[in-house]
Structure 1
Amino acid sequence: MRKQIIEPAQPRIALVEPNWLDLEQLVQLELTSEAETHLIEAAFTPNENEGWRAGQPGKQTIRLIFEEPHHIKQIRVVFQELAQARTQEFLLSWLSADGLSYQEIVRQQYNFNPPATCQQVEEYTVDLKAVKALELTINPDISNPGAYASLAHLQLGG
Structure 2
Amino acid sequence: MRKSFITPGGQDAVTPDDAWLDLDRLARVEITSEDRRYPIEGALVPGRGPGWLAGGPGPQTVRLRFDAPQPVRRIWLHFVERAAARTQEFVLRWGTADGLPPRDVVRQQWVFHPRGSTHETEDYRLDLNGVTVLELMIVPDVTGDEALAALAEWRVA
TM range (shorter): 0.7 to 0.9
Question: In the alignment, which residue of structure 1 is the partner of 2:91?
Answer: 91
Worse-superposed segment, 128-137 or 143-152: 143-152
Give me the whole-angstrom Cα distance separating, in 2, the residues matched to 1:138 and 1:130.
24
After superposing on structure 2, the runs of 4+ consecutive aligned residues of structure 1 that deviate more than 6 Å are 11-14
CA-to-partner distance for each residue in 1:86-136, whole Å, 9 max, x for gaps? Answer: 000000001112132010000000100113111000000011100010000
- Alpha-carbon contact 2:41-2:48 (below 8 Å) kept: no
Give me the whole-angstrom Cα distance separating, in 1, the residues matched to 2:79 and 2:128.
23
- Structure 1 stretches of 5 or more lacking a match? 1-10
Give me the whole-angstrom Cα distance separating, in 1, the residues matched to 2:116 and 2:106.
25
Report the number of matched residues: 147
Question: In the alignment, which residue of structure 2 is the partner of 1:126?
Answer: 126
Percent of aligned pairs with the same residue?
Answer: 44
Give me the whole-angstrom Cα distance separating, in 1, the residues matched to 2:24 and 2:115.
32
Question: In the alignment, which residue of structure 1 is the partner of 2:22?
Answer: 22
Give me the whole-angstrom Cα distance separating, in 1, the residues matched to 2:135 and 2:108.
14
Question: In the alignment, which residue of structure 2 is the partner of 1:114?
Answer: 114
Aligned residue type for 2:41: E
- Give the TM-score normalised by structure 1: 0.87
Give me the whole-angstrom Cα distance separating, in 2, the residues matched to 1:115 and 1:46.
28
CA-to-partner distance for each residue in 1:46-71, whole Å, 9 max, x for gaps? Answer: 33442000001000000100000000
Give me the whole-angstrom Cα distance separating, in 2, the residues matched to 1:29 and 1:48.
15
Give me the whole-angstrom Cα distance separating, in 2, the residues matched to 1:142 and 1:49.
26
Worse-superposed segment, 44-53 or 78-87: 44-53
Aligned residue type for 1:103: R
Give me the whole-angstrom Cα distance separating, in 2, the residues matched to 1:93 and 1:71.
14
What aligned pairs does 1:1-158 form with structure 2 within 5 A after superposition? 15-18=13-16, 19-157=19-157
Residue 12 of structure 1: CA displacement?
A: 9.3
RMSD, matched Cα: 1.7
